[in-house]
Amino acid sequence: MDAYRQQLHRYDPDIETAIRGEEERQCDGVEMIPSENYTYPEVLAALGSVLTNKYSEGYPGRRYYGGQEFTDRIETVARERACALFRAGHANVQPLSGSPMNQAVYFAFLKPGDTVLAMDLSHGGHLTHGAPVSHMGKVFRFERYKSETAQGGAIDFVGLMARAKEVRPKLVLCGYSSYPRDYDYAAFKQVADEVGALTMADISHIGGLVAADAMRNPMDAGFDVVTTTTHKSLRGPRGGLILCKAEHAKAIDSAVFPGLQGGPHMNNVAGAAVTFKKAAEPDFKTYARQILANARALAKALTDQGAALVTGGTDNHLLVIDTVASFGLDGRAAEEALDRIGITTNKQIVPDDPRPPLRPSGIRLGTPACTTRGMDEDDMRRIAGWIVDTLRAPDDAAAIAKRHTDVRAFCRGFPVPGIAA
């Protein structure tokens, strides 16, 4: 235990003990929530640095507080690295997370009541893409498109074009949190151009895969704006990143500050800068390719054992099991059963799900965190077996206990970055 942790333990053992418990949980279990990952030790060092003490309202060279020579350098480096990594004209590294990141884009280009054409939540879209329960869904008019689940999750671009001509959106948004396929960004751009709309892609889940050129980059298709969180498949700190054409820089920057936020969290910005440097290295490309290979292996192993996958498979890092169709279990029951053996997933709605969000019809799984620990295709097949066996007999206490022991022993062979053994 380092000196700071020892000091915390002496002062507030309740909190330090909980942190230690979470470290043990992360080491002893298989993390399969696709939006979670293990960040780099170097990023943890930046997050725990004295940068957390410093206010830096404004942008490099135009701050509202003094003493900014080092923060200006950090933010400038972060922006330059982000632009180079994603081939963007401008980058804003200040958004505190994914929701304010996307909100900033809306307010940069839209007026209340303007129309956005975005993916339906149950088909893989995200809450911040105008779900009715979100504030953005009340400010702007969101119209929906869906995937063709009977056709492997394909997007019907003929239908999408007709829908765009009908609703005349000011912004066409593509992005997802539970869609297991890649997007044809050029086709989305064609739809937007036809109706004079701006284009936005939210690649928060696949940001690392795009950075590594393992998946398509919407900037290459001429998109106006691309957003991504800096954690998930990028393995950075919890934050947001807005990339755009150079011509949109002023609108984006003004929407972030002073539009939505005050001072950025400079420790997060430093962590993001480190992350972008890591993502530009050859090892990261190898890592991204392994994420995809692991996802394909996991999907095949599950389908071979009778699991029904939404869209029938995956092109990216995640997949969704229809647990009701496969095992007669709702997503909450499936999630809880897997928790008991040390495999962490999350309950997930499936397209046009008739069940409520807290007891949906499926679970969502992903491979970024497993891959970070060094797991490969053979390990995915082993994990798939544990998943299927558990969901087929969720009430077999003896089998659950034995499997939990096996999972813990298995995980101890794969150290977690940033956590001392």
Smallest CA-to-CA distance from 207 within 187, 165, 237 is with 237
> CB within 8 A of 55, min separation 6: which ones?
65, 263
Name the pairing type of β-strands 318-322 and 115-119. unpaired
DSSP bridge partners of 366:
318
Query: What pLDDT shows up at residue 130?
Result: 81
d(CA 365, CA 176): 14
The CATH number for 290-411, chosen from 3.30.1740.10, 3.90.1150.10, 3.40.50.300, 3.20.20.10, is: 3.90.1150.10
The 3-class secondary structure across the chain, one letter per residue, is CCHHHHHHHHHCHHHHHHHHHHHHHHHHCEECCCCCCCCCHHHHHHHCCHHHHCCCCEECCEECCCCCHHHHHHHHHHHHHHHHHHCCCEEECCCCCHHHHHHHHHHHHCCCCCEEEEECHHHCCCHHHCCCCCHHHHHCEEEEECEEHHHCCEECHHHHHHHHHHHCCCEEEEECCCCCCCCCHHHHHHHHHHHCCEEEEECCCCHHHHHCCCCCCHHHHCCCEEEEECCHHHCCCCCEEEEECHHHHHHHHHHHHHHHCCCCCHHHHHHHHHHHHHHCCHHHHHHHHHHHHHHHHHHHHHHHCCCCEHHHCCCCCEEEEEHHHHHCCCHHHHHHHHHHHCEECEEECCCCCCCCCCCCCEEEEECHHHHHCCCCHHHHHHHHHHHHHHHHCCCCHHHHHHHHHHHHHHHCCCCCCCCCC
CA angle 351, 353, 354 (to 5 degrees): 155
What is the fold, at CATH topology level, of the domain defined by 45-279? Aspartate Aminotransferase; domain 2 (3.40.640)
Query: What is the model's pLDDT at position 150?
Result: 72
Mean pLDDT, the chain, rounded, equals: 96
Summarised one tens digit per residue, pLDDT across range 56-66 is 999 999 999 99
Check whether 308 has a pLDDT greater than 80.
Answer: yes
State the pTM of this model. Answer: 0.96
Active-site residue set: 55, 57, 202, 229, 232, 238
Mean pLDDT, residues 194-216 taken together: 97
Q: Is the pLDDT of residue 420 over 90?
A: no
pLDDT digits (tens, 9 = 90+) for 225-269: 999 999 999 999 999 999 999 999 999 999 999 999 999 999 999
Nearest CA among 291, 246, 394, 410 for reference residue 333: 394
Strands 58-59 and 30-31: unpaired
Query: How far, rounded to the nearest angstrom, does the alpha carbon of residue 228 sit from its chain's CA centroid?
Result: 8
**Cα 382 from Cα 391, distance rounded (Å):** 15
282 by Cβ neighbours in 10 Å (0-12 / 13-18 / 19+) ranks as exposed
**Residue 89, Cβ neighbours under 10 Å: how many?**
13
Q: What is the pLDDT of residue 127?
A: 79
> Contact at 8 Å (CB) between 163 and 120?
no
Once rounded to an integer, what is the mean pLDDT over residues 171-195? 94
Name the band, by pLDDT with cuts 50, 70 and 90, for residue 1. low
pLDDT at 421: 59
The share of the chain scoring above pLDDT 70, in percent, equals 100
Q: Using the predicted structure, report yes or no on whether residue 67 has a pLDDT greater than 90.
A: yes
Contacts of 107 (CB under 8 A, 6+ apart): 255, 259, 260
Residue 152 above 90 pLDDT? no
Q: What is the per-residue burial (b if ≥16 Cβ within 10 Å, else e) of 342-364?
A: bbbbbbbbbbebebeeeebbbbb
Strand partners, 119: 145
Domain boundaries, the chain: 45-279, 290-411
